[in-house]
A and B are shown apart, each in its own frame.
Chain A
Amino acid sequence: MAILRKLLLRALSLIAVVLIVLVLVVVVLGATGFSDRILSSVISEEMRAVRQQLAETIRDPQELERALREQRRELEAFYGLDKPWYVRLPQDVLRVLTLDLGEARTVATAQGSKRIQDIIAERLPRTALLFTTALVIYFLIGVWLGTLLATRPGSKLDRVLSYFAAVSFALPSWWTGILLILIFYFYLGGLLPAGGMYSTPPPEGGLARFLDLAYHAILPIFTLVLVATGPLMYVARTITLNVAQEDHVTFARAKGIPEGLVRRRHILRVAAPPIVTGLILGLVGSIAGSITTEIVFRWPGMGQLYFQAVSGQPDESLIVALTFVYTMLYALARFILEILYLILDPRVRY
């Protein structure tokens, strides 16, 4: 029961965070006049079309101007521009919360839907594919290497990999991606593709398509793994090393427990919860990494979408929706890891 209460509390506070972020985003958009500017430019664009239409039917210039003014007023009411932002935006928050995310201005799905819901439904799995695969791989490698190094601190391998960890802390994922493109695409004569999710044209047939997807995913996943493994490895190593020095480990050995079991049950098992904490702390970086990696490899996921939404012709609805979805995603990932932590560590269970 205690554990359920604890989980509920965490869930509530993460939901609160999502809410606060959403409100923050909306207030910033409103208070800076950004929202108004974007809406009026949307309206002006639509008015141009309307003007052309009306000009064909209404000949009298005065009549035309009046009709246009009427039209504009209707559009303003439609978009809510006739009300101040602090009246209009709470509705936006509620709208977003009910997952009615509005329409994108230029981006559309493969089927041509402009509803942001559909767009995100199309892109989220792509981002998740890249992100989760990388997460699983770097988690396995990082923890394996880190705990391995902890068995021989000060060895040559240990020192080399410690420096690697420091460097990989400092390695921006996007630059790593660029370097990998330079090597595997340019210098190795197109051994691996420089970007995209499928070849053009995509191959026919399920298996061929899947292989093509995997082929395109190699470099982005490799990038994310390369960048995230070092820090996690370092954390895992330090924690394992600390646990291995604790008294209960000697106690276990004194009991005549074979070394393999000592390592598994009395070192790694005890090191697991703080390693999960390390993973939680690395999550922010991983999300950032997945955004920039998508951009570098032109992977059509949410990160690239976000980039499109802020560059060129900015798309307010898309920005709000994506900030919201990313915050949700992060909260969700964090929540899952925290459940894992609770399962692993009896000390925080009540």
Chain B
Amino acid sequence: MESVLKVILSSGVGRAGLALFALLTGISVYVLVSYPLDYGSRVWYNPAVWADNPAVKPPIWAKPGAVPHSVFLQEEPTEVRKASTGERRLYRFEIPHPYEKPPDSLSLTLTEAVYYSRPPLLTVSLTRPDGRSVRLYRYSPPAPRPGEEAPYVRHRDSPHRVDLGADPQVRAQVSAFLRDEYGLRLSANELRGRLMEILFGEPTSPEERGGPAAFRPLPGTYALEVEVTVFDRRDRIGALQAVRGGETFGWMGTDSLGRDLAQGLLFGFPVSLIIGILTSVLATLLGASLGIMSGYLGGRVDLLIQRSADVINNIPGLPLLIFLVFIFGSNLFLVIIPVIVFFSWPGLAIIVRSMVLQLREGQLVEAERSLGATRWRIMFRHILPQVGPYLLAQLIFFAPSAILSEATLSFLGLGDTSLPTWGQILEGAFRTGAVYRGYWWWVVPPGLLIVITAVAFMLIALSLEPIANPRLRRS
């Protein structure tokens, strides 16, 4: 064990590999403690989580000066005015927008509304830098159902989200706004897909315009105001959240569902390391035990093991891997890893067997046998430790191919969908045509991480060449 470490550290390749491996492990540990274990099903594959995010946007560092993605959350009103019955509560979101272009989207989400008599009324409007104010949207949570008792709780588990850039109600309101303020006649239908451009801009003057209505950006500070009229002082609003969708998002961008790729990529670290380590440990254990048994017991057991090893060695891996995972399902721990292990052990078993055959004739084993040690005892107490360093080297050799096999299965759509992996992120990218549209941030990083992880193991394995391949040891 110590000697193996010394061999790794004695070469530049080994040190580089070990450093990379340490980095990967560090990130994995961080992810394991900070992410929930059911992250896959609860977050990654849950579209509601990502509803507010812009779809397929590059990372923020890739496009400096782009409109960033901003989230504004308010749990308490900015201002409260008493009314004859109940209150008017004002939630005001200041949105600085010094950009020469409209944002990608603007949305508002209401989480939890509790009322005692009548449902509260929400009125949303936008005040622009030129002082003009646009009424956008009105909303009341569903009324009490027959037989329901106060307080009435709404939107606790399913928040109410409105996309202010696409909602028909908003379109109608903006159409009216254009008519009243600028005398422009554009039907709600004609506004489809143009709301942001209009809300965050002003019409070009008629002489500039000539043709159909055009809008120029209007930089400045915008205020999104939500007035909540409650009819009982006890009524409560949980939180209001305004989101301005950016042209960029987060450190790694988003995919077509608006998922934050940084999170998926991070979660891939522990998954990938676990696949690499678990598979190689199992394959080494299996290969070594079968090899030792085969070499030490000889006879029929030997024949059986060697024949099986020979057959499996002669099977083209991927087609069978695809077949087995397809039939038995994509469970990572119950199917994918065992199947990869099943295809990995033979080479090792064959080599260990020949090592054992040499050792079996050795004096130490001879002496033990004459003292009456059992075969199992000799096998595991004396032979295993002697082939140990070699096994450790082999162990590391298995990891990269296991990682790559899993990634390939995932890429083929046969991955375990309870855990996001780099291969699955790439599968999504390829299936939705991200490659042809140049969404590099969705395509390059996951593959790069697969390669880096495999290379980390590879470099360590290369530095162990003198142990794994004694032929090279001589000068």
Which residues of A are interface residues toward B (Cβ below 8 A)? 13-14, 16-17, 20-21, 25, 28-29, 32, 34, 162, 166-167, 169-172, 174-175, 178-179, 181-182, 185-187, 194, 238, 242, 245, 283-284, 287-288, 291-292, 295-296, 306-307, 310-311, 314, 319, 322-323, 326-327, 329-331, 334
Residues of A within 8 A of B451 (CB): 167, 170-172, 175
The answer to whether B411 touches A291, judged by C-beta atoms less than 8 angstroms apart, is no
B1-44 at interface with A (beta carbon < 8 Å):
13
Query: A166-B459, A182-B438, A288-B316 are known contacts. Are A34 and B327 too (CB-CB below 8 A)?
Result: yes
Identify 14 residue pairs between A and B in the complex whose beta-carbon atoms are under 8 Å apart, listed by A's number: A17-B310, A20-B311, A25-B320, A169-B455, A170-B404, A172-B404, A172-B411, A178-B430, A181-B436, A245-B475, A288-B318, A323-B319, A327-B315, A329-B316
The answer to whether B443 touches A178, judged by C-beta atoms less than 8 angstroms apart, is yes
Interface of A is mostly: helix
Residues of A within 8 A of B414 (CB): 310
Within the assembled complex, what's the spacing in Å between the Cα atoms of A292 and B426?
13
Residues of A within 8 A of B474 (CB): 245
Query: A166-B458, A169-B454, A323-B323 are known contacts. Are A17 and B438 too (CB-CB below 8 A)?
Result: no
Residues of A within 8 A of B429 (CB): 178
Residues of B within 8 A of A327 (CB): 315-316, 319-320
* Cβ contact of B450, chosen from A20, A172, A322, cutoff 8 A: A172
* Interface status of B317 (Cβ within 8 A of chain A): yes
Known contacts A16-B311, A327-B319; 18 further A-B pairs (Cβ under 8 A): A32-B327, A32-B328, A167-B458, A169-B458, A170-B404, A172-B411, A172-B451, A175-B451, A182-B438, A187-B438, A194-B435, A287-B317, A306-B322, A310-B323, A311-B413, A314-B326, A327-B315, A334-B314
Query: A178-B430, A181-B436 are known contacts. Are A292 and B408 too (CB-CB below 8 A)?
Result: yes
B245 to chain A, nearest CB (A): 24
Residues of B within 8 A of A329 (CB): 316
Within the assembled complex, what's the spacing in Å between the Cα atoms of A21 and B323?
11
The answer to whether B443 touches A182, judged by C-beta atoms less than 8 angstroms apart, is yes
Within the assembled complex, what's the spacing in Å between the Cα atoms of A166 and B13?
10
B450-466 at interface with A (beta carbon < 8 Å):
450-451, 454-455, 458-459, 462
The answer to whether A242 touches B471, judged by C-beta atoms less than 8 angstroms apart, is yes
The answer to whether B472 touches A238, judged by C-beta atoms less than 8 angstroms apart, is yes
Which residues of B are interface residues toward A (Cβ below 8 A)? 13, 310-311, 314-320, 322-324, 326-328, 400, 404, 407-408, 411-414, 426, 429-430, 435-438, 440, 443-444, 447, 450-451, 454-455, 458-459, 462, 471-472, 474-475
Query: A16-B311, A172-B407, A182-B435 are known contacts. Are A291 and B319 too (CB-CB below 8 A)?
Result: yes
B57 to chain A, nearest CB (A): 17
* Cβ contact of A186, chosen from B317, B435, B454, B471, cutoff 8 A: B435
Query: A172-B411, A175-B447 are known contacts. Are A194 and B426 too (CB-CB below 8 A)?
Result: no
* Cβ contact of B411, chosen from A284, A292, A323, A330, cutoff 8 A: A292
Query: A17-B315, A172-B408 are known contacts. Are A179 and B326 too (CB-CB below 8 A)?
Result: no
Within the assembled complex, what's the spacing in Å between the Cα atoms of A30 and B42?
35
The answer to whether A175 touches B323, judged by C-beta atoms less than 8 angstroms apart, is no
Query: A186-B435, A319-B323 are known contacts. Are A175 and B400 too (CB-CB below 8 A)?
Result: no
Residues of A within 8 A of B328 (CB): 32
Within the assembled complex, what's the spacing in Å between the Cα atoms of A330 and B400?
23
Instruction: Name the residue of chain B whose CB is nearest to the CB of A238.
Output: B472
Residues of A within 8 A of B455 (CB): 166-167, 169-170
Within the assembled complex, what's the spacing in Å between the Cα atoms of A284 and B13?
27
The answer to whether A174 touches B318, judged by C-beta atoms less than 8 angstroms apart, is no
A287 to chain B, nearest CB (A): 5
Instruction: Name the residue of chain B whose CB is nearest to the CB of A281.
Output: B347
Within the assembled complex, what's the spacing in Å between the Cα atoms of A141 and B461?
24
Within the assembled complex, what's the spacing in Å between the Cα atoms of A309 and B39?
31
B453 to chain A, nearest CB (A): 8
- The 7 lowest CB-CB distance pairs between A and B, nearest first, are A170-B454, A288-B318, A175-B447, A330-B316, A326-B319, A186-B438, A17-B314
Within the assembled complex, what's the spacing in Å between the Cα atoms of A46 and B21?
56
Query: A170-B451, A170-B454 are known contacts. Are A186 and B314 too (CB-CB below 8 A)?
Result: no
Residues of A within 8 A of B400 (CB): 169-170
A26 to chain B, nearest CB (A): 11
Residues of B within 8 A of A17 (CB): 310-311, 314-315
The answer to whether A323 touches B320, judged by C-beta atoms less than 8 angstroms apart, is yes
Residues of B within 8 A of A307 (CB): 412
The answer to whether A306 touches B440, judged by C-beta atoms less than 8 angstroms apart, is no
The answer to whether B327 touches A322, judged by C-beta atoms less than 8 angstroms apart, is no
Instruction: Name the residue of chain A whose CB is nearest to the CB of B405.
Output: A288
Residues of B within 8 A of A319 (CB): 323, 326
A12 to chain B, nearest CB (A): 12
Q: Which of B310, B311, B450 gathers most chain A CB within 10 Å?
A: B311
The answer to whether B317 touches A284, judged by C-beta atoms less than 8 angstroms apart, is yes
Query: A186-B438, A194-B435, A323-B320 are known contacts. Are A292 and B412 too (CB-CB below 8 A)?
Result: yes
Instruction: Name the residue of chain B whose CB is nearest to the CB of A177.
Output: B435
